[in-house]
Amino acid sequence: LQQRRGLRLSAPAAIQVTVRDALNQALDEELERDERVFLLGEEVAQYDGAYKISRGLWKKYGDKRVIDTPISEMGFTGIAVGAAMAGLRPVCEFMTFNFSMQAIDQVINSAAKSCYMSAGSISVPIVFRGPNGASAGVAAQHSQCFAAWYGHCPGLKVVSPWSAEDAKGLLKSSIRDDNPVVMLESELLYGVPFEMSEQAQSKDFVIPIGKAKIERPGTHVTLVAHSRPVGHCMEAATVLSKEGVECEVINLRTIRPMDIETVEASVVKTNHLVTVEGGWPQFGVGAEICARIMEGPAFNYLDAPAVRVTGADVPMPYAKILEDNSIPQVKDIVFAVKKALNI
């Protein structure tokens, strides 16, 4: 009615925010909201974080809330798990999740299993977060995706954001959750700006763990991805739409618990499925999605076998041309969609 009268309505105040700043906002808001929350890890305090995620937080909250640790993942992860058992809410940063292998006993045997083994009397409200998967030019020991590893383990929740809104909302939900949560970020997304809605700018904004998001509706094929490959899927969908193929892109957001219902509903509509991930193919996230679809009601709606697009089944090479060929690219997704649709 106001538009008919010629009045100008102000658009929602969406702004551009990088994933780095979204994570920083979430940490700042949760440190302010709950005095039990604290951040620890290598270089997180005085250096403002190896990736500047914790920029300004040490100066604002001090040594007791933002804690620099020695280079000893097993040690500081054990301290964090013990603190969580004692009633605090630690955020434990790994400089890369490849280094979390040094602390795998603390993450799995101590954090993930304690609630079950204590019949619910010991909760471990802790967040393990940091960059996961391939970066650029850092070779095999810094480029592994751990989504399938941690998604395999009962007792953990595992989230994997793509956009700035994902990063902020999922980190806030993870910190508030009473279970151990593994948050797998992408170093290559830290500096990427995304539109953040007015709602997401609120201190009360959270994204429920275990709920996927349809980033782009479509009718011909379902593309399911998490983290950085979601952006590749969006690009591939734009390319394919020019050829008359409309892709439905699902941003999984959570690896465990997996929102298979959203994927099933999409497959029922499109009759085709392509999964995309940066991790290795064997026992991967895409393999789990395909198995769950095969075992469920959506299988009868598939008009062709599901197709997986994954990283190459090799340790990450150092040379850039080999690295590029080891990670799913937009052209690989386009090829997989055409294979699924037999075009």
> Please, are residues 309 and 258 in contact by the beta-carbon 8 Å criterion?
no
Residue with tokens 């026992």: 283
Residues contacting residue 253 through CB under 8 Å, at least 6 positions apart: 159, 160, 161, 162, 166, 170, 207, 211, 212, 213, 226, 259
- Which candidate in 142, 220, 226, 272 is catalytic? 142
The helix, strand and coil proportions of the chain, stated in percent and rounded to the nearest 5, come to 40, 15, 40
- Which candidate in 73, 187, 215, 277 is catalytic? 73
Residue ranges in the chain assigned as alpha helix (H): 19-33, 57-61, 73-85, 104, 113-117, 147-151, 164-176, 229-241, 260-270, 285-295, 320-326, 330-341
> Please, are residues 97 and 158 in contact by the beta-carbon 8 Å criterion?
no
Q: CA neighbours within 13 Å on the CB side: how many for 129?
A: 34
Residue closest to 97 by CA, chosen among 140, 146, 55, 51: 146
Active-site residue flag, 142: yes
Q: How far is CA 280 from CA 45, 149, 252, 310, 342, in A?
A: 34, 11, 17, 6, 25
Return d(Cα 162, Cα 164) in angstroms, integer: 7
Active-site residue flag, 195: no
Active site residues: 73, 142
